[in-house]
């Protein structure tokens, strides 16, 4: 059966999110030298230039070119048209470059443009150029091998078999379901997946569709890479790490469609468009502010065909690539969240389960090392025995971090040095578990 569940051996996870250091890859992205090469209508660029000059008051053409992300040759062409229509005028020279401002007629035109569309950022790229670039740097074309996954998941403790299954799923560039009990590290695994990639991608500031502007680059989601800026590189694109977009229970169906702002007159790209060429993590899948079937119905075709359809406010529809590795993380039963047709489109289903005593020990060792505590193996053995035999609880990876945090907080409150001993663990567990989960003996510190 094509959608059979993939079972993984038990694995241990510790929470960690180290700073990612990936070398910037220089890709060819030549700056347009003519208006035709920009792929954007002349009147849109003229209106954008006029709005920028009006708001700045006065600036030279090199500054205007920098603000628009265009070559000086293109901006000089735009200015000649604005000057011919008596919308801009020359105020002086900076070297051999004009310093310009708007005329009274240009001021009126700029205000009219701003009333319709307040976008004054970098010039957009054409939809066809955006589609072509996304396909050229597809997440599904990246070669992924075992050492890449091993490096990316180094902060976690996973079995080799699980690393291999993750690697195969990532290589596919398709989608993954990470499922299993709460506290087993599904989110930590998902958030480390983007660390597999060691290359970079170009992300545009904005995309133009039917004279409408859709902002795409989001500094909160896209991590730009500093690189030597050249006049030969198209300034409308930013070199970034492959995107990592994480959304949880706050997700709504509206986030999956274009967001039109009536006050500004332009659009913001939906989540999946911002995640193109990267990873989109749906955490706590099944607990969003919409029914799971709403999301699944919205994405069943994009997941299958790798093409998404978006609609402008006027009703015009257009297609964009759906080039994102979607990772669903849930502690609910996937079979109860989605039907067979949808699950079939998610090729990789990986169970993230509870852990072995050996892994539980390793977790405590790493967490204690991280927070500067001495880790006594006999204390951990005592805790394992009590959790399994007295409380009948599984060994969850989250316990080490959560218990050590409780111990550190209490030590800080008491202005003492944190120590991992049995007495401290007893107090940590009292705070952590509901009272009905604890036995009377445990309250006296006797497992």
279: domain range?
129-351
The DSSP code for 386 is: I
Same domain, 311 and 397: no
Burial 362-374 (b: 16+ CB within 10 A, else e): bbbebbbeeeebe
User: Does the pLDDT at position 7 exceed 60?
Assistant: no
pLDDT at 439: 52
pLDDT at 252: 85
Of 269, 134, 123, the closest CA to residue 203 belongs to: 134
Cβ contact 89:50 at 8 Å? no
Residue 307 lies in a domain: yes
**Residue scoring higher pLDDT (289 or 92):** 92
User: Does the pLDDT at position 312 exceed 60?
Assistant: yes
d(CA 395, CA 355): 6
Cβ contact 281:327 at 8 Å? yes
Domain count, the chain: 3
Same domain, 94 and 162: no
pLDDT at 229: 64
Any idea which residue has 């890449």 for tokens? 148
Any idea which residue has 């208006």 for tokens? 35
User: Does the pLDDT at position 20 exceed 50?
Assistant: no
pLDDT digit string (tens) for 385-435?
A: 989 888 888 999 999 999 999 999 999 999 999 999 999 998 998 888 876
Same domain, 183 and 285: yes
Cβ contact 30:234 at 8 Å? yes
- Phi-psi map region of 121: left, alpha, beta (phi>0 left; psi -120 to 50 alpha): beta
pLDDT at 342: 79
pLDDT at 435: 64
Same domain, 272 and 242: yes
Same domain, 101 and 178: no
Q: Name the average pLDDT for the chain.
A: 87
Highest mean pLDDT among 120-129, 176-185, 423-432 belongs to 120-129
Pairing of strands 200-204, 278-282: unpaired
User: Does the pLDDT at position 2 exceed 50?
Assistant: no
User: And the tokens for 88?
Assistant: 């801009």
Mean pLDDT over residues 156-171, rounded?
A: 90
Residue 17 lies in a domain: no
User: Does the pLDDT at position 21 exceed 50?
Assistant: no
Same domain, 56 and 104: yes
> What sign does the dihedral 385-390-391-394 (CA atoms) show?
positive
pLDDT at 338: 78
User: Does the pLDDT at position 4 exceed 60?
Assistant: no
**Residue scoring higher pLDDT (13 or 139):** 139
Mean pLDDT over residues 284-288, rounded?
A: 82
* Range of weakest confidence among 10-14, 153-157, 263-267: 10-14
Residue 1 lies in a domain: no
Residue 253 pLDDT class (50, 70, 90 cuts): confident
Q: Domain holding 74: CATH number?
A: 1.10.10.10
Bridge partners (DSSP) of residue 318 are 310
Same domain, 436 and 287: no
Q: How far apart are the first and last CA of the chain?
A: 46
Mean pLDDT over residues 162-169, rounded?
A: 92
3-class secondary-structure state, position 443: helix
**Residue scoring higher pLDDT (290 or 184):** 184
pLDDT at 96: 80
Cβ contact 325:166 at 8 Å? no
pLDDT at 250: 83
Of 19, 12, 15, the closest CA to residue 370 belongs to: 15
For 185, half-sphere exposure in the C-beta direction (CA atoms, 13 angstrom radius) is 33
Of 238, 329, 318, 237, the closest CA to residue 280 belongs to: 329
Any idea which residue has 């000089």 for tokens? 76
Share above pLDDT 70 across residues of the chain, in percent, rounded to a whole number: 90
Residue 251 pLDDT class (50, 70, 90 cuts): confident
Mean pLDDT over residues 133-145, rounded?
A: 93
d(CA 342, CA 353): 23
User: Does the pLDDT at position 3 exceed 60?
Assistant: no
d(CA 222, CA 208): 20
User: Does the pLDDT at position 141 exceed 60?
Assistant: yes
pLDDT at 249: 78
User: Does the pLDDT at position 123 exceed 70?
Assistant: yes
Residue 285 pLDDT class (50, 70, 90 cuts): confident
pLDDT at 284: 87
Quote the Cα angle for 198-199-205, to 5°: 135
pLDDT digit string (tens) for 33-85?
A: 999 999 999 999 999 999 999 999 999 999 999 999 999 999 999 999 999 99
Any idea which residue has 């005028």 for tokens? 89
pLDDT digit string (tens) for 320-376?
A: 999 999 999 998 888 888 778 778 878 889 999 888 899 899 989 999 999 999 999
d(CA 50, CA 101): 9
HEC string of 72-115 equals HHHHHHHHHHHHHCCCEEEEEEECCEEEEEECHHHHHHHHHHHH
User: Does the pLDDT at position 105 exceed 60?
Assistant: yes
Same domain, 49 and 135: no
Residue ranges with strand state E in 383-447: none
Same domain, 182 and 322: yes
d(CA 209, CA 234): 19
d(CA 117, CA 48): 9
d(CA 389, CA 14): 24
pLDDT digit string (tens) for 190-219?
A: 999 999 998 899 999 999 999 999 999 999
Residue 7 lies in a domain: no
Same domain, 53 and 90: yes
The residue among 351, 374, 408 that closes a domain is 351
């Amino acid at each position: 059966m094509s959608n059979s569940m993939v079972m993984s051996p038990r694995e241990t996870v510790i929470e960690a999110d180290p700073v990612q250091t990936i070398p910037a890859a220089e890709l060819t992205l030549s700056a347009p030298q003519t208006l035709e090469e920009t792929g954007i209508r002349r009147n849109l660029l003229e209106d954008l230039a006029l709005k920028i000059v009006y708001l700045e008051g006065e600036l030279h053409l090199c500054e205007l070119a920098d603000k628009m992300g265009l070559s000086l040759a293109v901006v000089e062409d735009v200015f000649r048209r604005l000057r011919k229509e008596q919308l801009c005028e020359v105020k002086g020279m900076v070297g051999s470059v004009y310093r310009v401002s708007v005329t009274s007629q240009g001021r009126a035109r700029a205000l009219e443009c701003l009333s319709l569309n307040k976008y004054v950022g970098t010039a957009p790229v054409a939809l066809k150029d955006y589609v072509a670039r996304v396909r050229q740097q597809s997440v599904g074309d990246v070669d992924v091998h075992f050492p890449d996954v091993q490096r990316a998941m180094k902060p976690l403790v996973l079995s080799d078999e699980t690393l291999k299954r993750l690697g195969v799923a990532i290589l596919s560039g398709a989608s993954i379901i990470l499922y299993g009990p709460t506290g087993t590290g599904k989110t930590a695994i998902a958030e480390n997946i983007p660390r597999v990639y060691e290359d970079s991608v170009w992300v545009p500031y904005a995309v133009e569709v039917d004279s409408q502007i859709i902002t795409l680059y989001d500094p909160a989601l896209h991590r730009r890479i500093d690189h030597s800026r050249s006049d030969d590189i198209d300034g409308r694109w930013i070199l970034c790490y492959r995107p990592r977009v994480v959304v949880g229970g706050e997700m709504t169906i509206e986030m999956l469609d274009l967001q039109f702002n009536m006050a500004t007159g332009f659009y913001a790209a939906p989540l999946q468009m911002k995640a193109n060429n990267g990873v989109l993590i749906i955490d706590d899948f099944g607990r969003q502010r919409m029914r799971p079937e709403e999301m699944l119905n919205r994405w069943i075709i994009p997941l299958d065909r790798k093409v998404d359809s978006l609609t402008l406010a006027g009703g015009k529809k257009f297609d964009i690539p759906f080039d994102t590795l979607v990772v669903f993380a849930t502690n609910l039963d996937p079979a109860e969240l989605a039907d067979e047709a949808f699950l079939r489109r998610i090729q990789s289903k990986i169970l993230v389960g509870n852990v072995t005593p050996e892994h539980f020990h390793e977790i405590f060792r790493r967490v204690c090392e991280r927070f500067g505590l001495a880790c006594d193996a006999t204390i951990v053995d005592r805790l394992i025995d009590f959790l399994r035999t007295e409380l009948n609880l599984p060994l969850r990876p989250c316990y080490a971090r959560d218990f050590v945090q409780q111990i550190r907080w209490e030590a800080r409150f008491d202005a003492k040095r944190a120590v991992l001993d049995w007495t401290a663990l007893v107090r940590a567990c009292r705070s952590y578990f509901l009272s009905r989960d604890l036995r009377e003996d445990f309250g006296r510190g006797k497992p």
